[in-house]
Structure 1
Amino acid sequence: MGDREPTTSSGPAQGGGCAPAASPVAEAAGIIKRFGSMVALDGARITIMPGETHALVGRNGAGKSTLVSILTGLQAPDEGTLTFGGSPPHDSPTATPGGGRWPVSTRNRRSSPS
């Protein structure tokens, strides 16, 4: 069981008479996230098409939670692009490096003691 490159599939094969492929529901490309000198994500990417289910699997510290927190708007990436339905997120006061907006959740955040 040597090391080999993972293979990916973009969904079912397109045959004659099939409807054109839908655009991604969510897509992240070139996502870089640093915490101080530690690089949590270095060029991460994921494309989620309508009806698809994905699992993020990896060792502790691989960046799974960081990627999910960026996709859900809890954190902004340092670099990279994120789109939902082909458009950048824009309903938040948190600006992206490219000038768009990232959705931010304030639910379950603790306030600092006074």
Structure 2
Amino acid sequence: MELTVPIAECIHHISPALRQDDFRLIDEKVFGQFLRDLEAYSGAGVIKDALLFQILTMTRPDEVRGAKQQEFDLEKATWTIPAERVKMRRDHVVQLSESEECGEGKKSL
């Protein structure tokens, strides 16, 4: 005898349910103002650079804060975040664009 179960009844056993508050979307006007404020920020340059780098690479704050120079391969334009600092617990390779590679951010690498 074959049993059939509708997928809707068992999907919660396959993957964790997504909650409404898991998505951190921000209004584009608010984000635009944030970027303008960040550009005008006159405090510690490393804070500004770290925030811009995080936005450009779409990484988590802890990943950026814990970044080490040896994780970056500027020849290949990659940043390999080790598994112990990544939520999924496996190495994560971030492809760097020209924006992340040049300017003040590159000096701090």
Task: Give the TM-score, by structure 1 length.
Answer: 0.31
Per chain length, whose mean CA-contact separation is higher, i.e. which structure has more relative contact order (CA < 8 Å, sep 6+)? 1
- Mark the structure with the bigger radius of gyration: 2
Taking structure 2 as the reference length, what is the TM-score of the superposition?
0.32
- Larger helix share, 1 or 2: 2
**Structure with higher strand content:** 1
